[in-house]
Chains A and B, each alone.
Chain A
Amino acid sequence: MKSLEELMAIKAKMQDKIAVRTSTSDIRIVVGMATCGIAAGARPVLNAFVEGINAEKLEDKVTVTQTGCIGICQYEPVVEVYEKDKEKVTYVKMTPERAKEVIEKHIKGGNPVAEYTIGATQIAK
């Protein structure tokens, strides 16, 4: 059974780790979590990113945050990737499976997954 005592042990383990962490992340993944995003399935997408970044031990370099509605509700779930000195990449109609692919190819590999970006989706229509 999980107990609050267990949390104290986790805290002790984490303190040294956090002390060495650099303050600024190189990459920021932003997931839209307004009504439009939630209704379209943003919650599992967000959690796929959080879990994926953690599983790949990328949490020092990458932060996952939430935002409200950015005004393109028909393309939700929308995910924006901000990287230092690079142009923002906007992914649309995301799924947890696509999130895993973005982590693998874009976040780790450095190559945005063009077919899931808003540019590619608009052209296809």
Chain B
Amino acid sequence: MDELSLYVLDIAMNSVRAGATEILIELDDDGEWITFTVTDNGCGMTDEQLKKLSDPFFTTRKTRKVGLGIPFLKMLAEMTGGNVNIKSVSEKISKNHGTTITARFCKNHIDFIPIGDMTQTVITLIQGSPNINFTFRHVMPDKTVYLSCAELHKILGDISLAEPEILTWIGSYLNEQYSSVK
């Protein structure tokens, strides 16, 4: 994967598959380091699953025998001198279950990749799961880009966020926030 936004999409998809109803995606860019965090209220993982997570030959899916999402993220983070941290509470253990995954990247490292099209990533997530309350926040040194699906749901009532008109609006809403940075 050649842009960070694809890693963000891939990792957030794990939260979707974990049955989360609330998914918070945050990127905090201080000019030197980017901290990427996904927090969800999905089914969570047991300690045993957590231990195996960066093993490419561990996956819970049944259609193939390898799971590369987390190993990819870990490799990219560590290549730039950063790291990945995962905390999870399984639904088997507590009612307050869910997962938080944090990855840090050094922006100026030669092995870091372009951030890419974050708007397309958010649009893709909403298109696939219009009922999930995604919150997206991208903090940059001079600007913050923000979207809350819960706020949109409040305005739109029973109109799906996956309606083409709504997706188009969300896309331009985010792109306008991004372009006002420059």
- Please measure, in the bound complex, the distance between the C-alpha atom of A15 and the C-alpha atom of B166, giving whole angstroms: 12
0/1 per residue, A18-32, Cβ < 8 Å to B?
Answer: 100000000000000
Known contacts A8-B155, A10-B169, A47-B124; A38/B64 CB under 8 A? no
Residues of B50-77 at the interface with A, using a CB-CB cut-off of 8 Å, are 61, 63-64, 67-69, 72
Q: Does B29 touch A at the CB level, under 8 Å?
A: no
Report the number of A-B residue pairs with Cβ-Cβ less than 8 Å: 90
Report chain B residues within 8 Å CB of A51: 164
Contact assessment for A46 and B127 in the assembled complex, using a CB-CB cutoff below 8 Å: yes
User: Taking A2-B173, A10-B169, A47-B120 as contacts, is the C-beta distance between A38 and B127 under 8 angstroms?
Assistant: no
Structural contact, B165 and A14, CB atoms closer than 8 A = yes
Within 8 Å of chain B (Cβ to Cβ): is A101?
no
B residues in contact with A109, CB < 8 Å = none
Indicate whether A2 sits within 8 Å of B169 (C-beta atoms), given known contacts A11-B156, A11-B157, A71-B64: yes
Q: Closest residue to A7 on the B side, CB-wise?
A: B155
| Residues from chain B with Cβ under 8 Å of A71 in the complex | 63-64
Listed stretches B9-17, B18-26, B89-97, B107-115; interface member: B9-17
> Is B172 interfacial (CB 8 A cutoff)?
yes
In the bound complex, CA of A59 to CA of B63 (Å): 30
Q: Within the assembled complex, what's the spacing in Å between the Cα atoms of A65 and B10?
A: 16
* B124 close to A43 (CB less than 8 A): yes
Expressed in whole angstroms, the Cα–Cα distance for A43 and B5 within the complex equals: 10
Q: Is B86 engaged at the interface, CB distance under 8 Å to the other chain? A: no
CA distance A18 to B151 in the complex (A): 21
Complex CA distance for A68 and B61, rounded to whole angstroms: 9
A121: Cβ under 8 A from any B Cβ: no
Asked if B72 contacts A68 (CB within 8 A), the reply is no
Once the chains bind, are B64 and A69 in contact (CB under 8 Å)?
A: yes
Q: Is the CB of B166 within 8 A of A33?
A: no
B128 within 8 A of A: yes
Would A50 and B63 count as touching, CB distance under 8 A?
no
Q: Which residues of A contact B168 (CB under 8 A)?
A: 54
Other than A18-B163, A35-B67, A66-B127, give 8 A-B pairs with Cβ distance below 8 A: A2-B172, A2-B173, A11-B159, A14-B165, A38-B9, A43-B121, A68-B61, A73-B64
A residues in contact (CB < 8 Å) with B: 1-2, 4, 6-8, 10-11, 13-15, 18, 33-36, 38-39, 43-44, 46-47, 50-51, 53-54, 59, 64-66, 68-71, 73
